[in-house]
Amino acid sequence: MIGAEPDVETDGFDPQGAPRLLTEVPGPRSQELWARDAAHHASNSSPAAQWLRLVLRDGQGAVVRDVDGNLFLDFSSGAVVANLGHAPPAVAAALAEEAGRLLHYFDFATPARTAFFEALAPTLPEPLRTFQMYSTGSEAVEAALRLAKSYTKGYEVISFHQAWHGRTLGSMSLMGGFPLKRGYGPFAPGVLHSVNANCYRCPVGLTPDGCEVACAGLVDRVYEQSSEQRLAAVIVEPVQGVGGVIPFPPEFLAHLRRLCDRTGALLIFDEILTGVGRTGPMWAFESSGVVPDVLIAGKGLACGYPVSLIASRREVLDSLPFGQPGAGASTFASGNLACAAGVATLGLLADGAILENGRRVGAVLLGALRQLAERHPLIGDVRGRGMLLALELVSDRATKTPAAPEIARGLLMALAARGVLLAGGGPIVRITPPLVMSERQALAGAALLDDALAEVEASLASG
């Protein structure tokens, strides 16, 4: 079997357990396999993968194991995907069963797809119960842009500083100023950026008490001053994820709703990262009371099997040219396996217990992180909702100067050496465990983070 390592220690794998390191990190098998893999893989792996050089073998619940038998607590859920933990047996079984039945047929309905739609629809309000499926988030973002142009006949889109929407040309054009974007221009015309509602680094120099969400007014200015008034959409993450875990106040989102109602543009919520319980409710928009015209979902919707979709009203999805036969499709869209994994995922979420655990343990973890901020001057801000949390590292709390990249790297490495895995690698440390993580695991992870922060601060103090 691919990836099987028969002589790896297999006992003691408790999905609710603590980290357990048998070797240094990375261990000898990781080092050997990493070198073989690197001989063929492009050198552009994500920072955490490059720095740690771990080769992962399997995972259960909130624990992943490397090929040396080391057990790590997962504080990232991979790319914020494993919301229900790693390899939930019900999802693995559904995939195996469906794989033996039908691996692919282009765009036809299947029983799995019908079941997926019927399980997904009740999680959404009536105006968001017609779907078009895709495989990746970026693909769905691109489709949402086409849809907005198709329905409104406009061509401009407003998006936000620090937004992350994907790596294809259209989705990247929407993104804020990520360094990853540089060197790929020129980007799609018609995209207008506005300031985000970043309360820690307020773009208009105010504080949240009494600011009356002045940043929202600047979006109107962008529309009035920079657009040709041919707005097709405003696209926003209700909580900016990759850009730094920045929850937008409900009033900010309500303001965007009013702008769209006034101009006829579609309000698109990109919930690829915030959906499927990540911020507490099934969908982040539920906490704001603002319903978008289009919702984009992906990531955790099938526990790691690639799936994404756009949800909207039928009249929007049926508008031409988007609604013409074949125009919404793509080779792997609404694949049978994706639908089967999606049905199993939604089945696991149906009684609300996993969402409730995510809310409860997320609140405990947020409290623990706030306590860390009292002890560690490196932490400038602690924020987030549900299991979408972050620490913002600064070199000086008064000036809020972002911590140097080596510090963020040092923290990630020090934490992994204690058995906790993070993604990212910049000064905003995203903490996004699976929603199934136990309170004991979350507090154990926070205690190890405490140690790791102390180590990094001590090394800074010793120069």
Ligand X SMILES: Cc1ncc(COP(=O)(O)O)c(C=O)c1O
What's the closest the beta carbon of residue 141 comes to ligand X, in angstroms? 5
| CB-nearer residue toward ligand X: 241 or 244 | 241
Backbone angles phi, psi at 83, to 5 degrees: -60, -35
Whose tokens are 């057990």? That residue is: 71
What's the closest the beta carbon of residue 176 comes to ligand X, in angstroms? 12
| CB-nearer residue toward ligand X: 240 or 263 | 240
Query: Is residue 269 near ligand X by the rule CB under 6 A?
Result: no
What's the closest the beta carbon of residue 7 comes to ligand X, in angstroms? 35
Query: Contacting ligand X (CB under 6 A), which of 66, 156, 270, 381?
Result: 270
What's the closest the beta carbon of residue 427 comes to ligand X, in angstroms? 18
Query: Contacting ligand X (CB under 6 A), which of 112, 242, 301, 368?
Result: 242
Tell me the residue nearest to ligand X as measured from the CB. Answer: 137
| CB-nearer residue toward ligand X: 272 or 446 | 272
C-beta separation of 248 from 175 below 8 A: no
33/176 Cα distance (integer angstroms): 36
Query: Is residue 298 near ligand X by the rule CB under 6 A?
Result: yes
Which stretch, 132-140, 193-201, 221-229, 283-291, contacts ligand X (CB under 6 A)?
Answer: 132-140
Query: Is residue 338 near ligand X by the rule CB under 6 A?
Result: no
Q: How many residues bind ligand X (CB under 6 A)?
A: 14
Strands 308-312 and 294-297: antiparallel
| Burial of 220 per CB tally in 10 Å (0-12, 13-18, 19+) | middle
Query: Contacting ligand X (CB under 6 A), which of 241, 247, 328, 427?
Result: 241
Query: Is residue 273 near ligand X by the rule CB under 6 A?
Result: yes
| CB-nearer residue toward ligand X: 242 or 310 | 242
| CB-nearer residue toward ligand X: 164 or 285 | 164
What's the closest the beta carbon of residue 166 comes to ligand X, in angstroms? 4
What's the closest the beta carbon of residue 370 comes to ligand X, in angstroms? 25
Span 198-237, contacts to ligand X by CB under 6 A: 237
What's the closest the beta carbon of residue 270 comes to ligand X, in angstroms? 5
Span 134-173, contacts to ligand X by CB under 6 A: 136-138, 141, 164-166
Identity of residue 397? R
| CB-nearer residue toward ligand X: 29 or 165 | 165
| CB-nearer residue toward ligand X: 91 or 239 | 239
| CB-nearer residue toward ligand X: 335 or 419 | 335
| Burial of 79 per CB tally in 10 Å (0-12, 13-18, 19+) | middle
Query: Is residue 247 near ligand X by the rule CB under 6 A?
Result: no
What's the closest the beta carbon of residue 298 comes to ligand X, in angstroms? 5
| CB-nearer residue toward ligand X: 295 or 452 | 295
227/220 Cα distance (integer angstroms): 10
What's the closest the beta carbon of residue 159 comes to ligand X, in angstroms? 11
Query: Is residue 272 near ligand X by the rule CB under 6 A?
Result: yes
What's the closest the beta carbon of residue 81 comes to ligand X, in angstroms? 9
| CB-nearer residue toward ligand X: 388 or 412 | 388
The residues binding ligand X (CB under 6 A) are 136-138, 141, 164-166, 237, 241-242, 270, 272-273, 298
